[in-house]
Structure formats: structure tokens, C-alpha cells
Amino acid sequence: MVIFHLVIENDGMKKTITDDDYKVFIKRLKKAREDAGLTQIQSAKKLGATQAYISKVESGQLRVDVTQLKSFAKVYNKDSTYFLK
């Protein structure tokens, strides 16, 4: 699976464009958090991050690497492959 990430700057404003696969990934990530019964704040505390970080990840403003994915999977009690289906 190839994931494309494009940032366009126009008049000083940045706009992030992601492909459909990444949008599905983000939906699964948010659903996993909700299924775990965690708020963004609770999730952030368990991950050693901030609520703003979780919000930016779930909105597609920040990308998740493999190491971060493993951390999310552990906190949300999901197998890493759950997010990639």
C-alpha cells in the first residue's frame, strides 16, 4: 500500500491532502480509541503525549509512523493490522 501525503502552500496557508487509505486509517484509529472508552485526553496521557497531538493525528494534520502505530495499538488493545485493513 502506498500512502501519499501532499502539502500545498497557497498564500501562506498550508493544506494537507491525503489519500483514501489514510482517511480510512484515521477513522479506524479514532474508532479504536472510542471502543477503548478513552477520551483524547486519556489517550494522550497513556501515550505520553498531549490532547492536541491526538487531535492532530485524528484530523490528519499529523502522520503516524510505525513506532507510533504500535503504541496506539497497545493503548487501544488492538493488533497493529486492525488499522491497516
Cite the beta strand spans of the chain per DSSP E. Answer: 5-10, 13-18
Q: Which domains does the chain have, with CATH numbers?
A: 19-84 (1.10.260.40)
Q: Is the pLDDT of residue 22 over 90?
A: no
- The pTM for the full model equals 0.76
CA atoms of 20 and 4, how far apart (whole Å): 9
Question: Closest by alpha carbon to 78, among 69, 43, 17?
Answer: 69
Question: What mean pLDDT is predicted for residues 12-21?
Answer: 62
Q: What is the pLDDT of residues 30-73, one digit of tens each?
A: 999 999 999 999 999 999 999 999 999 999 999 999 999 999 99
Q: What is the pLDDT of residues 3-15, one digit of tens each?
A: 444 444 445 555 4
